[in-house]
Structure 1
Amino acid sequence: MSGTDPTTVRAEDGRELEVLVTGPADGPVLVVHSGTPSAAADVPELSRPAAERGLRTVFYSRPGYAGSAPRPGRTVADAAADTRAVLDHLGCDRFVTVGTSGGGPHALACAAGLPDRCVAAATVAGVAPFEADGLDWYAGMGPENLEEFTAARDGAEALTAFLTAGQPGLAGITGADVAAALGGLASEVDRAALTGDFADALAESFRRSVSTGVAGWRDDDLAFVRPWGFDLSAIAVPVAVWQGAQDRTVPPQHGRWLAEHIRTARAHLYDDEGHLSLLLQGGRILDDLLGLAAGRL
């Protein structure tokens, strides 16, 4: 199962999960948990360096996005079981994982929930728990995220209305539109990065994320502001935390907090990187991840 078109995998409870696999069919597996909102779409900034390193890259749509059936009330921790179903379908035992932005917590869920299979994890501009001790979760966020997560705290009905209003803008977005669509969430370094194939790949993921409605987006947001369902301090798998100080989507204190509270963490904190620009360092991120895996794949 490797190609450019998504396929369907059955979750453990019978739900359908949409999965896209690229790279060498017999390579060790890299599972990518993409941001919020997103759906299974190739991100060459990760899949290309992964293939160069012999890795098979797996993208999947979380429940409610595109071809993946919704799972209302899901927690961040539930991503581990869905990832396990994908791995079982692929016949894969061990894997490494990268989570970007809203995918970061879901990569950590795999580190916590699949310690016998996940040999290393990386969170790239990933969000921290909403009620993390000593963290001002909102400080430094662009106005669009402040509005979105205020709606999330008001509950599913308010959040659904808010996201539905934004759905048409993403449904037809192109690469040339991405920087403007992000508004105050994009710093100058991110705007400079949003060109060419990178911007086109993000636009495709955005379009697909709302192609069947906003259920996935809604349930991601609700999961972020509720208890995640696992203990970060109990993670024993090596974790890399990548964060840029120019990030207006997930402000830098999130990355610092994660690095300080995950006992296995190795921090990569950059003054000159933003939220999306970090993905242009895909090769470095993967080399570091494979180093953490220490030949256990």
Structure 2
Amino acid sequence: MRVEVKAEDGRLIVAEVWGAPDGVPVLLHHGMPGCRLGSALRDITEIRPDVRFFAYDRPGYGGSERAPGRTVADAARDSAAVADALGVDTFAVVGRSGGGPHALACAALLPERVTRTAALVSLAPSDGTGLDWFGGMTAHNVEHFRLAVNDPAALERRLTPRAAAISRDPGRLLEELRKELADDDLRVLADGQVRQSILDSYRESLRVSAHGWLDDSLAFCRPWGFDPASIPGRVLLWRGGEDAFSPLGHFRWLSRHIPNRTAVLKPGAGHFAAQYALPEALDWLL
């Protein structure tokens, strides 16, 4: 069910809620680019019929209005607004890929509301002490994020026509990334359910503009607005051993700095294998 929510500053946030109406609430943060429709595979309600899932489009994606200059930390405020609108007090949080940092923001800044947190194939803070942030990244991601750091206007000029083309033909982005995908990623993307979920998410996320993609990219390359070491609750970190998009150094940095963490490194798995990791994460969360 689609739900429209007003943020603290009056922005429109488009959210989705599904699953058991009286189930345990779990908030899902989508990837980059992405939207609420791509936060989980459709059979997740059959696997976990005891859960009430909710997700929302981050600002600038899908139907949610843009919040220029947003930080990763701002996700906690928007997440709280969505939970309030749904009558949810406490909840678990899962973030996949670009949603990982936003899930960690909720864990750090909403400790009285977030029960447990899972960050799957997440990035680490760009200003993390001792972290070579670009180390281990694919050439595509290095180029993308260096533009975000050095010339945001150039990144916007690049993303605007690209996002429009991907919205019309979302398979285009997967083809662009194909040469950098691990063998396991290619196997996962051969799963019709996974592929359709990703394509639907790309199409909806970029339907209006490239702003969500741009603002995520800028937020990841600036101070996040919180310290992962300050997270008081339990955190699950999950990464595939063959992930070409979430560097191993980021996983290790988060593992060293988040106090109450459980770290899972899945041998042989790629980045998109996180699509299959949600049931495992839910077992740990709940």
Q: Does residue 1:69 correspond to 2:65, yes or no?
A: yes
Q: Amino acid of the residue matched to residue 32 of structure 2?
A: T
Q: CA deviation at 1:142?
A: 1.7
Structure 2 match to 1:192: 187
Structure 2: distance between partners of 1:17 and 1:47: 25
Residue in structure 1 matched with residue 249 of structure 2 by the alignment: 253
1:129 matched to 2:142? The reply is no
Q: 2:116 aligned with 1:120, yes or no?
A: yes
Distance 1:87 1:47, change over 3 A: farther
Structure-2 separation of matches of 1:198 and 1:12: 34
Distance 1:51-1:259 versus aligned 2 partners, 3 A rule: same
- Partners of 2:127 and 2:93 in 1: how far apart? 25
Secondary structure of the structure 2 residue equivalent to 1:83: helix
Question: What TM-score comes out, normalization by structure 1 length?
Answer: 0.91
- Tell me the SS of whatever aligns to 2:73: helix
Quote how far apart the aligned CAs of 1:170 are: 1.6
Query: Where in structure 2 are there 5+ consecutive unaligned residues?
Result: none
Identity of aligned residues (%): 40
Q: 2-side partners of 1:210 and 1:30: how far apart? A: 25
Contact 1:123 1:242 (8 Å CA) reproduced = yes
Distance 1:173 1:255 in 2: 32
SS in 1 for 2:105: helix
Cα displacement (A) at 1:53: 4.4
Q: CA RMSD in A?
A: 1.7
Displaced runs of 4+ in structure 1, greater than 6 A? none
Q: Distance in 2 between matches of 1:116 and 1:209?
A: 31
Q: Partner residue of 1:295?
A: none
Secondary structure of the structure 2 residue equivalent to 1:288? helix
Residue aligning to 1:98 = 94
Q: Structure 1 residues 37-46 or 279-288, which shifts more?
A: 37-46
Unaligned 5+ runs, structure 1: 291-297
Local SS of the residue matching 1:229:
coil
Matches within 5 A, 1:28-107: 28-45=24-41, 48=44, 52-107=48-103
| C-alpha displacement of 1:282 | 2.1
Would you say the 8 A contact 2:29–2:102 is kept in 1?
Answer: yes
Structure 1 match to 2:175: 180
Question: Offset of 1:231 from its aligned partner?
Answer: 1.3
> What residue number does 1:168 align with?
164
Equivalenced residue count is 285
Secondary structure in 1 matching 2:262? strand
CA deviation profile, 1:84-137 (whole Å, cap 9, x unmatched): 000100111110010001100000000011000001001000010112122221
For normalisation by structure 2, the TM-score amounts to 0.94
* Structure 1 residues 154-190: Cα deviation after superposition (integer angstroms, max 9, x where no partner): 2331110121242134213356x66423234421111
- 2:128 aligns to what SS in structure 1? coil
- Is 1:148 matched with 2:144? yes
- Residue pair 1:104, 1:125 contacting (<8 A) in 2 also: yes
C-alpha spacing 1:74/1:50, structure 2 compared with 1 (3 Å)? farther
How many angstroms does 1:49 deviate by? 5.1
Partners of 1:46 and 1:143 lie apart in 2 by 32
After superposition, the Cα gap between the structure-2 partners of 1:181 and 1:59, relative to the gap in structure 1 and judged at 3 Å, is farther
**1:10 corresponds to which letter in structure 2?**
K
Shift of 1:201: 0.5
Q: Structure 2: which amino acid aligns with 1:282? A: L
Question: What CA distance in whole angstroms lies between the structure 1 residues aligned with 2:267 and 2:252?
Answer: 12
Deviation at 1:285, TM superposition (A): 1.5
Task: Quote the residue 1:241 is aligned against.
Answer: 237
Cα distance, 1:44 vs structure 2: 4.3
